[in-house]
């Protein structure tokens, strides 16, 4: 079995993952349509709202080319709920043995969060080679990746927190960074204002910035 199930799943998709916070399930379809129109192919719906599972379900039901995942997974039972809703991957801000077990039980590709070199080692020993550095900008940023790469050359990362359109390209320039995520692509205030044109524009700008 590949060490990098998410990387295989996301092959061909731009390496920008909007982490979206949606309070109203009726916003599921229009925000996804705006993101897809901009060229986004991966979407992480954070489970920090009561509407999140229904949002995932409604996004998946649209049948768009985007791959929908569940973020902020912190409890084992959230894996079953995410899979039932149709999520294709899961992301956590941290990890625990029970989360690892739930990931394996459901078969959902899981990107656990880490914040230190020790945590990266523990996750690798548990069989996880795709990790989320969180909160990335506040635990070392780009310098962290440069120092960790020769120690763990088989680990790859998706940093979040502190990532924006201005620095995403720099993070993606690190050989051990396979994607970046954040709320900057579809800000919560723009979603709540139902400003789908702004969501599409911000995402287009961010995608253009990593290509320049």
Tens digits of per-residue pLDDT, 132-176? 999 999 999 999 999 999 999 999 999 999 999 999 999 999 999
Q: Give the 3-state DSSP-derived string for the chain, with helices as H, strands as E and coil as C.
A: CCCCHHHHHCCCCCCEEEEECCCCHHHHHHHHHHHHHHCCCEEEEECCCCCHHHHHHHHHHHCCCCEEEEECCCCCHHHHHHHHHCCCEEECCCCCHHHHHHHHHHCCCEECEECCHHHHHHHHHCCCCEEEECCHHHCCHHHHHHHHCCCCCCCEECCCCCCCCCCHHHHHCCCCECCEEECCCCCHHHHHCCCHHHHHHHHHHHHHHHHC
Strands 16-20 and 42-46: parallel
pLDDT tens column, 28-37: 999 999 999 9
Calculate mean pLDDT across residues 35-44.
98
| List 7, 44, 88, 130, catalytic entry | 44
pLDDT tens column, 86-142: 999 999 999 999 999 999 999 999 999 999 999 999 999 999 999 999 999 999 999
**pLDDT at res. 210:** 96
**132 classed as catalytic:** yes
pLDDT class for 2, splitting at 50, 70, 90? confident
| List 88, 130, 132, 200, catalytic entry | 132
Assigned CATH topology for domain 15-211: TIM Barrel (3.20.20)
**pLDDT at res. 202:** 98
């Amino acid at each position: 079995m590949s060490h990098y199930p998410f990387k295989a799943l996301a092959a061909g998709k731009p390496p920008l993952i909007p982490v979206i916070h949606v309070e109203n399930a009726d916003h599921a379809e229009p925000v996804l349509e705006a993101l897809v129109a901009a060229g986004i192919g991966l979407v992480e719906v954070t489970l920090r709202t009561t509407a999140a599972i229904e949002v995932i379900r409604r996004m998946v039901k649209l049948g768009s080319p985007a791959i929908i995942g569940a973020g902020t997974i912190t409890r084992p039972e959230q894996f079953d709920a995410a899979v039932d809703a149709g999520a294709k991957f899961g992301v956590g801000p941290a990890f625990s043995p029970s989360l690892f077990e739930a990931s394996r039980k459901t078969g959902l590709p899981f990107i656990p969060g880490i914040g230190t070199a020790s945590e990266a080692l523990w996750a690798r020993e548990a069989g996880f080679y795709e990790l989320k550095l969180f909160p990335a900008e506040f635990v070392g940023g780009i310098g962290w990746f440069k120092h960790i790469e020769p120690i763990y050359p088989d680990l790859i990362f998706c940093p979040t927190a502190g990532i924006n359109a201005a620095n995403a390209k720099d993070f993606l320039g690190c050989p051990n960074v396979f994607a970046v995520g954040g709320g900057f692509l579809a800000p919560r205030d723009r979603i709540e204002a139902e400003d789908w044109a702004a969501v599409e524009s911000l995402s287009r700008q961010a995608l253009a910035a990593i290509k320049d």
